Amino acid sequence: MIKLIGAIFIILSSSLIGMKVASYYVLRSTQLRQLQVALQWLETQIVYGSTPLHVALNHIAVRMNGDVRYLFAAAADALTHLKEASTRECWESAIEKEWHKTALRKPEKEVLLQLGQVLGQSNREDQQKHIRLALMNLKSEEDVARAQQQKYEKMCRSLGLLGGLLVVILLY
Amino acid sequence: MTEDVYLILPDTVRNRLAKMSSSEIHRIEEIRLRIGLPVEVVIENRSFFLDEGQRFGKEEATILMNRLSMHSLYTLEEEIRRGYITIKGGHRVGIAGKVVLDRGNVKHIRDVASFNIRIARQILGAANGVLPLLVEKGQVKSTLIISPPQCGKTTLIRDIARQLSYGTKGFPGKKVSIVDERSEIAGCVNGIPQKDVGPRTDVMDGCPKAEGMMMMIRSMSPDVIITDEMGRPEDSYAIEEAIHAGIAVITTVHGKNLKDVMRRPVLSRLAQSGVFQRYLILGRQPRVGTITFMYDENLAECRFRVAK
């Protein structure tokens, strides 16, 4: 009887681990999608609204769903409160601080950091070009992430379950 | 010097200014910053360099630009194209540097290397002496103020606007429209005047004078239109239009005396058609903003006594 309960526990926990790993793949592509929506919104606010950067970022932080918004909230906060820092430093500090809350990876971090170097530093036309470029890069990252998701999501789930089963069989 | 200017200066520049005495700081007229050169301060038309060894650096210029634009240079496209930025409090920051052209027109100033921060001070009551000369039986007279540069004509017409708008014992407040082409009179930020120009005053900020006056005549039904530094042919057309609509116009022009002004074709035509009912000449003696002469609509010199 006890053996049976133990076996169920092992299978349960290993399949949970599998699901967790799988959900990470899903989360990354979702957040990449959200990041693109956020940047598109930023573009609109800059190009058509001529909204100051900290106000625009705040709008995004308030109205967006998902963990991506923490990045924008932190950046808006840094721009208003770090008096002596340049725009780039504010942006970088926000990304470093809040990155761990997202499921995003290094390539998209690079894209954002690169955008931070020019954000707010030129006229609208130029800002638009840079944001478009970042969007394009994020889109290609998203495509890669989706492909990975398709490949590994199911596999991780079944691997969790099967791994649990294997342990149980070995121990039984 | 006011808080608003302090807010935009990089900390390093603030530290340099902090070494001056507070009475000096209060009399600062201009702070001039140039990359690679020490900070220059102008007090009562005399210039000083602060800490000659310490030069204004490129990083400081970036910080200043970031603060001016609140990290969003794209919000200042129009201002940069014009070459100056008005900040909170109505102070103006003039900029110079490498210009980017687009089909022969200035598109942008890249690499801003020089900043001239002009500190604006409002002198409430600057028009006390002039006001009785401009208002007769409750009617405001159309006036041309003639003055060499830096004799306080902008300060004067700002206070005229304020006092006409508030009204005094002698007459009720008037509806005043200011057409502020260079954001000097009202010092607007986002369309809101940073100087006190009175409760019945509307400001068209950054608008070409002639066009702005026509817009004001049509849309705001003013009693008085106030504008700065007229001189182009289309300005005179707009002034005539205003006068025919029964609106008094108070404007200024650069010049030393009436003769100077009469040599300019646009102005002499206006003067001969009797558009202006008062001509005031400003001078620096004994102090800035003194009225030296006044003429009536027949260009005859009037004797007047300035109320103290």
So where are chain B's domains?
3-118, 131-296
- For the cut 80, the answer to whether the pLDDT of residue B78 exceeds it is yes
**C-alpha triplet B123, B128, B133: angle, nearest 5°:** 135
B135 CB contacts (<8 Å, ≥6 apart)?
B141, B164, B170, B171
pLDDT tens digits, one per residue of B238-289: 898 898 889 999 999 988 888 888 888 888 888 888 888 888 888 877 777 7
Q: Which amino acid is at B234?
A: E
Percent of residues in chain B assigned helix, strand, coil, to nearest 5: 30, 30, 40
Task: Find the mean pLDDT for residues A61-80.
Answer: 91
Q: Can you tell me which residue has the tokens 């060499």?
A: B148
Q: Quote the CATH superfamily of domain B131-296.
A: P-loop containing nucleotide triphosphate hydrolases (3.40.50.300)
Residue type for position B254: H
- pLDDT band for position B307 (cuts 50, 70, 90): very low
- For residue B293, list its beta bridge partners: B281
In this complex, do A53 and B11 lie within 8 Å of one another by their Cβ atoms? no
pLDDT for res B155: 86
pLDDT band at B305 (very low <50, low <70, confident <90, very high): low
SS3 assignment for A1-21: CHHHHHHHHHHHHHHHHHHHH
Helix (H) or strand (E) holding B43: strand B39-43
Are residues B66 and A87, on separate chains, in Cβ contact within 8 Å?
yes
- SS3 state at A94: helix
Q: Which of B63, B72, B77 sits opposite A53 (nearest CB)?
A: B72
Chain B residues inside the 8 Å CB shell of A84: 10-11, 63
| Per-residue pLDDT, A32 | 94
Q: Residues A83-105: pLDDT tens digits?
A: 778 889 999 999 999 999 888 99
CA distance B16 to chain A (A): 16
Mutate to test the interface with A, among B59, B72, B85, B100 (most CBs of A within 10 A): B72
Q: State the pLDDT confidence band at B129, using cuts at 50, 70 and 90.
A: confident
| Residue B181, pLDDT score | 86
User: CA of B7, closest CA in chain A: separation in Å?
Assistant: 9
Instruction: List Cα–Cα distances, B68 to B65, B88, B92, B192, B270, in angstroms.
Output: 5, 10, 11, 17, 41
Q: Are A18 and A160 in contact (CB under 8 A)?
A: yes
| B81 lies within 8 A of chain A by CB | no
Task: Using alpha carbons, select from B83, B128, B136 the residue that is nearest to residue B307.
Answer: B128
Tokens of B58: 């490129």
pLDDT at B1: 57
The separation between CA B293 and the C-alpha centre of its own chain, rounded to angstroms, equals 22
Q: For position B308, what pLDDT does the model report?
A: 40
Contacts of B264 (CB under 8 A, 6+ apart): B231
For Cα atoms A9, A15, A18, give the angle at the middle one, nearest 5 degrees: 145
Residue type, B165: S
Residues 6+ apart with CB under 8 A from B84: B92, B93, B94, B95, B182, B183
pLDDT by residue (tens digit) across A127-147? 999 999 999 999 999 999 999
B3-118: which CATH architecture?
A: 2-Layer Sandwich (3.30)
Q: Can you read off the two tokens belonging to residue B146?
A: 């003639």
| pLDDT tens by residue, B193-236 | 988 999 999 999 888 899 999 999 999 999 999 998 887 888 88
Cβ-defined contact of A53 to B66 (cutoff 8 Å): no
Which residues in chain B are contacts of A123 at CB distance < 8 A? 73-74, 77, 107-108
Q: Are B216 and B177 in contact (CB under 8 A)?
A: yes
Q: How confident is the model at residue B38 (pLDDT cuts 50, 70, 90)?
A: very high
Q: Is the ipTM of this complex over 0.90?
A: no
Q: What are A81's two structure tokens?
A: 């409160």
The stretch B41-58 carries a mean pLDDT of: 86
Instruction: Quote the CA–CA distance of A55 and A76 in Å, as a whole number.
Output: 7
Mean pLDDT of chain B: 86
| Residue A23 one-letter amino acid | S
SS3 label, residue B49: strand
Angstrom distance (rounded) from CA B300 to CA A91: 66
- DSSP code for B141: P
Amino acid (one-letter) located at A170: L
- Check residue B294 and give its pLDDT: 81
